[in-house]
Amino acid sequence: MKNVIYSLLTVILMVGCKHKNQLPAIAPDVITENTLHDTDDPAIWVNRKDPSASIVFGTDKDTDGAVYAFDLQGKVIENKTLRGLKRPNNVDIRYDFKLNDSTLVDVMVFTERELQQFRMFSVPDMKPIDGGGFPVFTDSTEPEHNLPMGISLYHSPKDGAMYAIVGRKAGPLEGYLHQYLLKPSEGKVKAELVREFGKFSGNKEIEAIAVDDANGIVYYSDEGECIRKYYAEPSKGNQELSCFGASYFRDDIEGIALANGVNGKNYIIVSNQQNHSFVIFDSSDLSFVKEVNLSTIETDGCEVTTTALGSAFPNGLFVAMNDERNFYFYDLGRIL
């Protein structure tokens, strides 16, 4: 009996330590229904005709994986959910991709790690427009260098071109990221490698990638080192602009979300994974703003929109992965 009591006390102490980060907790407005396996990364599609009918997509990272679709009440939308995927990892969305001379579509991309490719679907009809997928890192002879993980889209304000920037499980110290130009071709899309860029510390991995389209900037988490900043426009070169933020993180630097135009400010929100919190920076000078505890556990991916999504999220929406097979939704005004 004594051993049982000691075991229970040990579990209680471990759980207490897991959640403790000395910051007041902010409870979510909505907790989604659970996925089957292992949540990782969200993306938000804003329905511009009816923002209250917007959709949150989230990956379920498994051999029997999926990209789940949730309504703003956190309920699974089954006819928008993509199942039967081979370890989908990160996901991203952009608007008004020029599929042909007369058709603009909103698009979603996600990495499919076990098939060493990324996929591209039109949203919200969820139709594949990639011919079955785009192989990535095909020139690598190292097995883990072939496995795609992070992905972000970049819609260039310069010429309207759409790019996918893809990271991987492991890679070289230079040229860790690959950037692909997405080109329409007879109602489908082709991906053309146009750039290899980005430093890697050699510690841990690079997964989280986020792009500020308006300012042409890409940020990514070198998990054991810093948040790295580069130009997203290939013509501007591969020089690193900054490596910042390391001192504010307990261990892994994880998911990145960009909130632009909040009371005249632009913010970078980054998951402090092992501290179960989020660190917020001012993107104008990369200065620390604050750290917040959003009650999540071990957050990998996060996403934000500053668009008002009806009465449920009048100040915009922040979504964070939670390590209990679900996602947490917050009105952005409660965080910023």
- pLDDT reported for residue 187: 83
**Is 263 part of a structural domain of the chain?**
yes
Is 171 contained in some domain?
yes
pTM attached to this predicted model: 0.93
What pLDDT, on a 0 to 100 scale, did the predictor assign at position 8?
40
d(C-alpha 173, C-alpha 301), whole Å: 23
Work out how many domains the chain is built from and give that number.
Answer: 1
In a domain, 207, yes or no: yes
Instruction: In whole angstroms, give the CA distance from residue 177 to residue 148.
Output: 10
By the 10 Å C-beta count (0-12 exposed, 13-18 middle, 19+ buried), 98 is classed as middle
Task: Show the low-confidence residues of the chain (pLDDT under 50).
Answer: 1-20
What is d(CA 122, CA 99) in angstroms, rounded to the nearest whole number? 10
User: Is 205 contained in some domain?
Assistant: yes
In a domain, 20, yes or no: no
The CATH number linked to 201 is 2.120.10.30
Residue 21 lies in a domain: no
Asked if residue 109 is part of any domain, the answer here is yes
For residue 162, give Cα distances in angstroms to 157, 210, 308: 10, 14, 25
Domain that holds residue 35: 27-334
6 located within any domain: no
